[in-house]
Amino acid sequence: MKPGSVIVDLAASTGGNSELTKNNEVIATSNGVTIIGNSNIPSSLPSDASKMFGKNVMAFLKLILKDGQIDLNFDDDIVKGTCITHQKEIVNTRVKEIVSPQVV
């Protein structure tokens, strides 16, 4: 990984996904990568932030679900901006540019 990268290893309590992860510790590697070994991040968030996040998730689900079925309205900027692929095509502009940059 590039220097300055940060890994948040949510599986730290069970050994982690990186061989350098240590549970409940922050490790700075010799090549400038930081590994945060905190597997209980949700409990460290303020309850108001948790409630706000939950409300945001519910609002988004209400936006994309109609009568219990997925109904993606690509005219809605939120739906369009959060969708990465649709019908086996990359539809997200930023991801598309990364995957297949245009030759200038």
Structure confidence by residue, pLDDT tens digits, 6-22: 999 988 988 888 899 99
Tokens encoding 76: 């809605």
pLDDT in tens, 23-36: 999 999 889 999 99
Q: Tell me the per-residue pLDDT of 43-97, one tens digit each, with 9 for 90 and over.
A: 777 878 878 989 999 999 999 999 999 999 999 999 988 999 999 999 888 888 8
pLDDT at residue 42 in the model: 72
How far is the C-alpha of 38 from the C-alpha of 44, rounded, in Å? 10
Determine phi and psi for 36, rounding to 5 degrees.
Answer: -100, 115
Domain map (residue ranges) of the chain: 6-42, 45-99
Question: Going by C-beta distance under 8 Å and a sequence separation of 6 or more, which residues neighbour residue 64?
Answer: 70, 71, 72, 79
